[in-house]
Structure 1
Amino acid sequence: MNSAQAFSRIALMLRNRALFPKAVTKTVFSNACQANSLRFLASYPPHTIMTMPSLSPTMTQGNITQWKKKEGDSIGPGQILADIETDKATIEWEAQEEGFVAKLLVPSGAKDVALGSPVLVLVEDAESVAAFKDFVPGAASSAKPAAEPKPSAASSKPVLSLPTHDVLNMPALSPTMSQGNILEWSKKVGDSVAPGDVLCEVETDKATIAWEAQEEGYVAAIFFPGGTKDVPIGSPVLVLVDDKGSVAAFKDITPDSLAAFKSSAPSKPTVIAAAPATPAPITASPIVKAPIADKGVSSNRVIASPYARKLAAEAGLDLGSISGSGPEGRIVAEDVQSAIQRGATKAAVAAPPPPSPASTPATTAAAAATGLSYTDVPHTQIRRVTAARLLESKQTIPHYYLTAECHVDALLQAREIINSSQANASSSSTPAPVKLSVNDFVIKAAALALKKVPGVNASWNAEYIRNFNNVDISIAVQTPSGLQVPIVKDADKKGLGSISGDVRSLAAKAKEGKLRPEEFIGGTFTISNLGMYGVKQFAAIVNPPQSAILAVGATDKKVVVAGGSAGGFKEVSTMMVTLSCDHRVIDGAMGAQWLQAFKQYIENPYSMLL
């Protein structure tokens, strides 16, 4: 143990002894929760319950691919606890403090573990490990707690009745983020929001990231103005309501009064079972749903987001037949979209008479009679999110497509000359340089075309169009878990060699599931190249919140009429490219101008080197 670790351990012990003279459980929410939960118990030594962390901005649950520590192992800051598969990639979960693993609450291979669910127990010394052999989260909750202070006069005052609303807390936009700076709000009080809309720009410890809305509604209150620094994760920052008429009710609301309202709202009755049962896992979510104050809460109530209810109503689905994947079983839009795809139960319009056995459809029997043989492959987190995002893109973005044929003989010749020159310049003492690919030229040409026609390097917002100053190109990469889009940052400023090195490094990380969040979040334009598979031409789906994606086909030889006085024919190499555009942002003429600029760079490759 080095001096820094020793000091950290001593400080932790002193803090616990000073604050908690009795044994205490400290539940640490590594994701976007509102506060630590403290329980005064007498049956266990001091310990920390670690919960499933938020390792990507859109993560709601994760799969524990593999634990890197076992019960009894010591850990220190920076050591890897587990590999966790998120909706974006497989990311290493690092420890933030030292101690000993007393209990792994979920096994390796566990899937769909909700954010905030207890996953690991950490203790200060090895001697305490044995006490947690049969530990179950919350099992000692029946122990008599310390005496609670009597409510103050202020807390006994009646709490205002508020319309139904969502409280959005500061999210965890990077694995190591503990607080963030709100640089600029993209929405103001009274504005409508929809899934994919940018709420604000948040500066994390890694980068500046656009915080996107996950459901629709209206902004009723903003607690922190633009420019506020060091806002802790889990702090209430915004209130969202279902309809615009409810906005006025939150004119003078504060986080404290919201907390008081939540604590006074009716809750579900507690049912005492005859035998003890395993308690539900502790969950934490950046969105807290507050019930309507003047209505009782039914145990049969279906909890769903407003956007999910809207999708279900449009599709005629019964929400009661859909299982929710959100916090505490909340039904989110992705659940409804999945139900639509698999054909969930339709909502009953009227109660028809029960069908006779003879009239009952024998769908299952018919399917079995066909003798089909199949294998069901469970969805990965990446596959689920990709499916939901692309479905949303096709449903909400008005796509149009522009196709151009590029002559690439000059590009292929330039590539051969550059690669040969680099190979000849290398020696036995220096490693051979990476060979340039056609895709490297495509990335550079696209980046320069975006600088020449900047309107394509933009994003749609309900109130404005955001034009990006930086050119960050997302590259579609197929991985065993699904589609990934690592980013070549500032591609317009990089040489072909740097772009080539970045692409190879990022593609390798993507296939191994080792991408960091800042390496796949925040691109401004996407390129998808299927030319290596012999695909000549295709149209890609726009990757929101971006406004355009370029689909690149294979190079192909063809015979064309030769120009000049000699006449005759000649063989040329061509490449078909298709630009998919969001018509809300990019008009047809602008898309054509960008494609023209791209074609000029591809057909005159040396102009990219100037």
Structure 2
Amino acid sequence: MSSLLRAIPRVTRASLVSTVRNQFQLRCYASYPPHTIIGMPALSPTMTQGSLAVWVKKEGDQLSPGEVIAEVETDKAQMDFEFQEEGYLAKILVPEGTKDIPVNKPIAVYVEEQSDVAAFKDFKVEESSSKPTSEPVEKKETKEEKPTKSAAPEKKASKSSAPTDRIFASPLAKTIALEKGIALKKVTGTGPHGRITKADVEAFLQKAPGATAGAGTTAPAATASYEDVEISNMRGIIGKRLLESTQSIPSFLVSSDISVAKLLKLRKSLNASANGQYKLSINDILIKAISVAARRVPEANAYWLAEEGVIRKFKNVDVSVAVATPSGLLTPIVKNAEAKGLSSISSEVKELVSRAKINKLTPEEFQGGTICISNLGMNNAVSFFTAIINPPQSTILAIGTLKRVAIEDAGAENGISFDDKMTITGSFDHRTIDGARAGEFMKELKAVIENPLELLL
């Protein structure tokens, strides 16, 4: 499992409302009653575009401050777009399901008087002279391949100079033919000078789906089965930030095999004494242990802020917890973990994770964090892995699965005893924390986990 979304400054509800208000642009079209254009809102500080998942309100519906009018998929999650004015939704300019809508692009119109709604039945926003185009690739290819008068001499020259058995095909056509195992000599080209195009290869596949390459080749069958899954806005942002993190951060790894025998005993004892009031997980205790170690080695609990020219060491420890959701990885935050008890951490994590999986977190609940934990210990096949740092954070801890190991024990009957251990691997930003200090952090973390009473210190 690897990385995480980019940590960004926290956003309060008040600032979000202010941001959303800025999306309303008053337009004065002389032929229409007074109205306001609603622009695509920026529901997170890093959002530059989003997708309109659902329109909750319909044209003609009354709007009240604080009401949800649409659900928008941002670069972080699917969030409610709450309207902050009174009026009526006069016209929807962008249908639901539309993706990659730039922030501030007009998406709807609202009016203050219900009697004005009908006037906007055929309303359209004035287009600028530099409107974007999205001409299909195939259309461009057809245009390029259409013979012209000026191309005639070239055609004549090619006939006289090129061997008659040479096959002319576009690079894309060659690639598809190679993947599908098609002999190009069997395909009739319709491009300039008989050149084989992508469309020719696809047409051949439709007519002869079982076509294979010539004798002696091992190309894959043309009937290969697959499923294309559309890249969501969130998944696209995750991909970009993973790449940015791996390319821009000089990270290094420190691993430690840590005994968790005492931690397991403490967990069992606490759960038994709780009478069902709570049920601690190993991850809950590890979050607390990380907060203790981070207080002792603050370089691990820091941001690299190059633009401001500082390394920001935090006194509080806000632990980002990596959570896999159907739409991508989110990192809900246990804030001030160093000041909270295990039962509070446990209940908070359960509540955050449950809402993260249905995209119901507010921005301040997953944006920020000072240090991160990614736990694959529940997967018994993962004994060791590394995680990608979530900038501007400097540390992420990758937690492997529990394993029972044999150790030498002179006091045991057979000279051997068994211990429960897990491998924890820290990824550190070398710009913020030196190797020696990273080693100190892992040493402190090991001490706390192996002697869990230190959680109380």
Superposition TM-score, scaled by structure 1 size: 0.57
Contact 1:30–1:50 under 8 Å retained in 2: no
* Residue in 2 that maps onto 1:532: 378
Paired residues for 1:184-203 under 5 Å: none
Matched to 2:44, the amino acid is S
Deviation at 1:460, TM superposition (A): 1.8
The range that moved more, 557-566 or 465-474, is 557-566
Paired residues for 1:284-363 under 5 Å: 358=167, 360=169, 361=171, 362-363=174-175
Distance 2:105 2:412 in 1: 76
Distance 1:29 1:471 in 2: 28
The range that moved more, 458-467 or 55-64, is 458-467
The answer to whether structure 1 residue 556 and structure 2 residue 403 are counterparts is yes
Paired residues for 1:351-430 under 5 Å: 358=167, 360=169, 361=171, 362-369=174-181, 370=220, 371=222, 372-423=224-275
Deviation string, structure 1 residues 117-162 (Cα, Å, up to 9, x no partner): 11111111222111111111127x9xxxxxxxxxxxxxxxxxxxxx
* Residue in 2 that maps onto 1:96: 84
Contact 1:31–1:115 under 8 Å retained in 2: no
* Residue in 1 that maps onto 2:11: none
Deviation at 1:565, TM superposition (A): 7.9
Count of matched residue positions in the alignment of Structure 1 and Structure 2: 367
Deviation at 1:496, TM superposition (A): 0.6
* Residue in 1 that maps onto 2:314: 468
Contact 1:408–1:603 under 8 Å retained in 2: yes
Relative to structure 1, the CA distance from residue 521 to residue 593 in structure 2 (aligned partners, 3 Å threshold; closer, same or farther) is same
SS of the residue aligned with 2:324? strand
* Residue in 2 that maps onto 1:605: 452
Distance 1:591 1:455 in 2: 8
The range that moved more, 46-55 or 460-469, is 460-469
Gaps in structure 1 of 5+ consecutive residues: 1-27, 142-269, 272-279, 282-298, 300-320, 322-353, 424-431
1:543 is aligned, of 390, 393, 403, to: 390
Distance 1:562 1:46 in 2: 85
Deviation at 1:459, TM superposition (A): 1.8
* Residue in 2 that maps onto 1:118: 106
| Structure showing the higher helix proportion among its residues | 2
* Residue in 1 that maps onto 2:43: 55
Larger CA Rg, structure 1 vs 2: 2
SS of the residue aligned with 1:417? helix
**RMSD of Structure 2 on Structure 1 (CA):** 2.5
Deviation at 1:111, TM superposition (A): 0.9
Paired residues for 1:167-206 under 5 Å: none
Distance 2:357 2:315 in 1: 30
SS of the residue aligned with 2:225? coil
Relative to structure 1, the CA distance from residue 563 to residue 486 in structure 2 (aligned partners, 3 Å threshold; closer, same or farther) is farther
1:132 is aligned, of 106, 120, 124, to: 120
Deviation at 1:563, TM superposition (A): 4.6
Distance 2:327 2:28 in 1: 43
Deviation string, structure 1 residues 147-205 (Cα, Å, up to 9, x no partner): xxxxxxxxxxxxxxxxxxxxxxxxxxxxxxxxxxxxxxxxxxxxxxxxxxxxxxxxxxx
Contact 2:27–2:35 under 8 Å retained in 1: no
Contact 2:301–2:394 under 8 Å retained in 1: yes
Distance 1:29 1:532 in 2: 40
**Relative contact order (C-alpha < 8 Å, sep 6+): which is higher?**
2
Relative to structure 1, the CA distance from residue 59 to residue 563 in structure 2 (aligned partners, 3 Å threshold; closer, same or farther) is farther
Distance 1:114 1:45 in 2: 27
Relative to structure 1, the CA distance from residue 365 to residue 573 in structure 2 (aligned partners, 3 Å threshold; closer, same or farther) is same
Distance 2:42 2:256 in 1: 42
Deviation at 1:38, TM superposition (A): 4.6
Distance 2:313 2:19 in 1: 36
Contact 1:472–1:489 under 8 Å retained in 2: yes
Distance 2:294 2:416 in 1: 35
Distance 2:277 2:27 in 1: 59
Paired residues for 1:171-320 under 5 Å: 280=131
Deviation at 1:468, TM superposition (A): 1.6
Matched to 1:504, the amino acid is K
Deviation at 1:44, TM superposition (A): 1.2
Distance 1:409 1:104 in 2: 60
Relative to structure 1, the CA distance from residue 410 to residue 375 in structure 2 (aligned partners, 3 Å threshold; closer, same or farther) is same
Distance 2:35 2:41 in 1: 18
2:437 is aligned, of 575, 590, 606, to: 590
Deviation at 1:368, TM superposition (A): 2.7
Contact 1:62–1:381 under 8 Å retained in 2: yes
